[in-house]
Amino acid sequence: MENNRANILAAVALAVHLNEEAEDEIDRAMLAAAQVVVLQLMEDEEPWVDAGKLHNLYRHRALEASWVYVTVNLNEYHTMNDAVFKMHFRMSRRIFELLVQTVGNHLNEKGRMQRHRTDLQDILLMVVWVLATPDSFRSVALRFGRRPTTLWYFYSYVIMALRELAPRFIAWPTEGERRTIKEAFERASGFPGVIGSIDGTHVYISAPVEDAAHFINRHDTYSMNVQAVVDHTLLVRHLHVGEVGSMHDNRVFRRSPLLHDLLKEGNERILNDDEHLLGDGAYPLTNFMMIPFPRDGPLTEAQCRFNRKLSQCRVRVENAFARAKGKWRRLKYLHARNPAIVLDYIVGSFVLHNFTILNGEQLLEEDELARPINNNQVLEDQVFDDEDDLQDLNADQQEDEERLEVASIRGLEKRIMYMENLI
């Protein structure tokens, strides 16, 4: 441990001494830290590289001396036609320019744009490329004519900025917006009162440095849980990130701020009596959460019809996850062992997902919303019992559990009423 610590400290000290990019002490320190992180990233991306040899090479300036810049003309990225630009950067040039303006304004407000050694537009090109591809930092750095350490420096403060912008672009719908969402879902499926569909997904990661066993999911791989509520346009309306991969969706929901908000009463309520989310059998049936009838016995025709219409709306959260992971490819697998970095990346990616929709990119046409689903997409066979999952809830969460019992009774009544009278 002491030898490793000495190696890291030596690498940091040498990085500060060698750094050619920074102009002041703070920048030198940040870039030095970035260089150490990139060494670890390069080790993670190529397991055959011996970490000790990497640090020795770095301490002897071999890594710096061996890095060969590839001649790159960044103007070629700026002059691409819009179709090619969108293929590579997952958004139109118009939306990209809005992103540059938005991130730039945020960095200026935070006092992080005191000098402009590299144009922010070029920085965003590099970072968006990293987010949109599974390429290593080394290959992206070559593509843009930069060192991996400099690229990591850009990447780290841009994804931090995107995470800080999340409350602006991932927001619960207002009453007027909820009215629009309800009408769209009901026109498409006949299911009334739907504000959004909820589900969880896993982002697969490298084994975390600490508590790695807790991140092992049911597929025996390391992951972090992501819970999202999505509306009819595939816009994410609520996002909860950070729970370990071993945690079930039901428990993630019970630990999330969303449940606490849904249980509020009076003027603090975020849903009206006729409004609800749609989930699968992993979620509790309540007056604010409709789930399908479980197939623990023969279902009536009315129950089957209820399940089909519910599933047609609920599948949109799966569509949103698929579109997000298709665009921001590192959501499929992230080479990172620090959960804080993973969290920033995930939130930043969903901010970009929403940013493109809010600025005019339509991911789902309304006629596609009304398209009938396949039989294998109908939810009706999930029965979930999670008595042991409630042991570690804090006092506020325990209070929420008591309120949840009351909401569950109302949910039973509401589901039967919808099945018999409205659908």
pLDDT band of residue 93 (cuts 50, 70, 90) is very high
CA distance 398 to 228: 23
Q: How many whole angstroms separate alpha carbon 248 and alpha carbon 245?
A: 8
Contact by Cβ (8 Å): 90, 128: yes
35-87, pLDDT tens digit by residue? 555 555 555 554 434 444 444 444 444 555 566 667 788 888 888 999 999 99
Q: Rounded to whole angstroms, how far apart are CA atoms 38 and 4?
A: 16
Do 344 and 228 meet the contact criterion of CB atoms below 8 Å apart?
no
The token pair at 51 is: 């970490």
Residue 50 CB-half CA count within 13 A: 4
Residue 7 has pLDDT above 60, yes or no: no
pLDDT value at residue 27: 59
- Residue 323: which of 253, 241, 242, 235 has the closest Cα? 235
> Is the distance from CB of 349 to CB of 330 less than 8 angstroms?
yes
Residues 256-314 have pLDDT tens digits of: 999 999 999 888 999 999 999 999 999 999 999 999 998 877 889 999 999 999 999 99
Give the pLDDT mean for 207-220.
92
For 1, residues 6+ apart whose C-beta sits below 8 A from its C-beta are none
Strand partners, 228: 199, 239
Q: How far is CA 331 from CA 85, 319, 336, 351, in A?
A: 21, 15, 11, 13
- What is the per-residue burial (b if ≥16 Cβ within 10 Å, else e) of 204-231? bbbebeeeeeebebeeeebbbbbbbbbb
